A and B are shown apart, each in its own frame.
Chain A
Amino acid sequence: MLELINDFNVLTAFWMTIRLALWSSLFALIIGTIVAIMRLSPVGVLQWAGAAYVTLLRNTPLTLIILFCSLGLWGQLGVEPASRTSDTFIVDLNFRLAVIGLAFYHAAFVTEAIRSGVNTIPVGQAEAARSVGLTFAQNLRYIILPQAFRGAITPLGNVLIALIKNTTVAVAIGVAEAAYALRNMIEFRPDVILLNFLIIAIGFVILTLPTGLAVSYLSQKLVVRR
């Protein structure tokens, strides 16, 4: 088993999975928060744009979104977030394109999670904020969002876990992560196919189980008691 892990660089592959997950979740959180603010804002156009974003991204298969990042964003639109002169141009490029795809896709779910967090806040909070003269921006900044994030820990955590698992889809544009490693292992060592699967599967259990535990710990610790 160790031999398999070494021969096929399973650890390197999982490191790639972790890097994909970290960067994508960071950007997904940022984009998702912006879209959530748009959806809560008093400007009709922004509300509409935010809703359209969520509808479009949430209903498209991730495989297609990742393919669009490579074929569309890079191939058609010429967005090239890596340096051509670099020796690792393609590797960097595919990694970053995959991060873009994963981030934009999961941002739609982050938005919904934050909105569900907002839903946990009693109306009185916002009314009190307005009655002491806070503007919309101040209201969001000091009253709504801090409570919304704390109330949304569980759904946000679920998005994170889903994201970790969804990094496997990056194999469609040739990113050497865990699913890529599994395909290689099966191609060259088909005699131990079940072991190959178990190695990769347990790798994901190791990644997602502690994440899940951390999320439920945090959600209990940070819950807004009312």
Chain B
Amino acid sequence: MSAQQVLFDAPGPKAIRLYRILAVVGVLIVAGALGWIGWRMWDRGQLTADKWSPFLDWSIWQNYYIPGFWDTARAALAAIVISMSLALLLAMGRMSDLAPLRWVTTVFVEFFRAVPVLIMMIFTFFFLSRQGWFPDNLNPFIATVTGLVLYNSSVLCEVIRNGVGSLPNGQREAGLSIGLSSSQTRRIILIPQALTAMLPTLVSQIIVIVKDTALGYIILYPELLTRARQLGSAEANVVPAYIVAAALFIVINYGLGRLAEAIEDRQRRRSRSAAKATGAAAMGGDTGGVAAGVGMHGKIGTGSTSGTAEEGY
């Protein structure tokens, strides 16, 4: 947090006293809020051994949280892999020289970026249930993944496109001048560079996907949250079961977030030694969420703003 120092001078005796008071007030407010929550929950009998002792039992983890985790992971993994492949195709389509192909992919991308993931999941789920193409117990999985893929492939497509758009013009010109066609230039020179640069975004998009698998709860996909609900039903401790599920989600996503930051750091270090024209700069494109993610030198604040992929909340 050293870069922040530019916002304020080294505190004098009066300021130090003020900071101390503010710190105490802050601690009191946080502690007060936590204490109040604890007291209310105690009052409502949520903190009794009855409600929490099931979590000491290995079978609870074995029967609910671990299968729930695997189903979350499976849906997230399938979604990220399929989205990435589809996004690549969509990006090629959007940058194609064929106008009709451009139009179709543009409409696809803009439409599915605008429609909530949950709406797509609900629709796919009921649609598949009526069609009966797959065994019924597969439908929640397919619906969850479909909803995630339609949205995330559209988002990732735009990330790739922005990445290509922010490459220096010389890259494209060099490709053309050695006799490559414009589609060859894109395929061989531009997109590979954009892909490497988007690795941190990809990881933070995984966080979005992991969180969004929890929407599967509404269409009964047996992911972590649904399993927590089942556990709460069986052991009559709905609230503790959800609290544990929330903690698991936070740990998983926090870990992924740190991973994204680490990758970003490594790339920034690397691209600094090389010509630093490409690299992280690819992420800052016009519609991208990280408008300010570009070159942190000489800027206020703490550097990394990673974890905010475009629209990915």
Residues of A within 8 A of B (CB): 40-47, 49, 55-56, 58-64, 67-68, 71-72, 75-78, 106, 109, 112-113, 115-123, 125-127, 130, 135-136, 139-140, 144, 151-152, 154-155, 158-159, 161-163, 165-169, 171-172, 178-179, 182-183, 186, 190, 193-194, 196-197, 200-201, 204-205, 208-209, 216, 219
Contact B207 A59 (CB under 8 A): yes
A40 and B4 within 8 A (CB): yes
Known: A155-B308, A193-B126. A118 touches B301 (CB 8 A): yes
B31 to chain A, nearest CB (A): 11
Known: A77-B37, A119-B300, A172-B217. Contact between A43 and B291, CB under 8 A?
no
Expressed in whole angstroms, the Cα–Cα distance for A55 and B246 within the complex equals: 12
Which residues of chain B are near A159, meaning CB under 8 Å?
A: 313
Query: Distance (Å) between the CB of B245 and the closest chain A CB?
Result: 7
The answer on a CB contact under 8 Å between A60 and B114 is no
Whether B8 pairs with A139 at a CB distance below 8 angstroms is yes
Across the interface, A193 reaches (CB within 8 A) one of B37, B119, B127, B291, namely B127
Q: Does B290 contact A (CB under 8 A)?
A: yes
Inside 8 A of A154's CB, which chain B residues have their CB? 286-289, 291
Q: How large is the interface on B (under 10, 10 to 19, 20 to 34, 35 or more residues)?
A: 35 or more
Neighbouring B residues of A59 by C-beta, 8 Å = 207, 211, 249-250, 252-254, 257
B136 / chain A contacts, CB cutoff of 8 Å:
none
Q: Are A209 and B114 in contact (CB under 8 A)?
A: yes
Check A205 against B111 for contact (C-beta < 8 Å): yes
Nearest CB of chain B from residue A84's CB, rounded to whole Å: 18
Q: List 16 A-B contacts (CB under 8 A).
A: A44-B23, A55-B257, A60-B249, A61-B211, A63-B218, A64-B214, A64-B242, A68-B242, A76-B239, A116-B308, A117-B291, A119-B296, A130-B7, A168-B116, A182-B122, A205-B111
- Which among A41, A113, A186 is the interface contact of B126 at CB below 8 angstroms? A186
Residues B250 and A136 in contact, CB atoms below 8 Å apart = no
- Residue pair B1, A47 in contact (C-beta under 8 Å): yes
Give B contacts to A, CB under 8 Å: 1, 4, 6-9, 11, 15, 19, 22-23, 26-27, 30, 36-37, 40-41, 44, 46, 110-111, 113-120, 122-123, 126-127, 130, 207, 211-215, 217-218, 225, 238-239, 242, 245-246, 249-250, 252-254, 257, 286-293, 296, 298-303, 305, 307-308, 310-313
Residue of B nearest to A133 (CB): B9
> Are B111 and A158 in contact (CB-based, < 8 A)?
no
- The reply to whether B119 and A62 form a contact with Cβ atoms under 8 Å apart is no
Query: In the assembled complex, how far is the CB of residue A136 from the closest CB belonging to chain B, in whole angstroms?
Result: 4
A58 in contact with B307 (CB, 8 Å): yes
* A109 touching B250, Cβ below 8 Å: no
Q: Which 5 pairs of residues, A with B, have the shortest CB-CB distance?
A: A61-B214, A59-B253, A165-B116, A162-B313, A116-B292
Contact of A123 among B6, B8, B207 (CB under 8 A): B6
Q: Are B8 and A130 neighbours in the complex by a CB distance under 8 Å?
A: yes
Q: Which of B37, B114, B239, B249 has the largest count of A CB atoms less than 10 A from its CB? A: B114
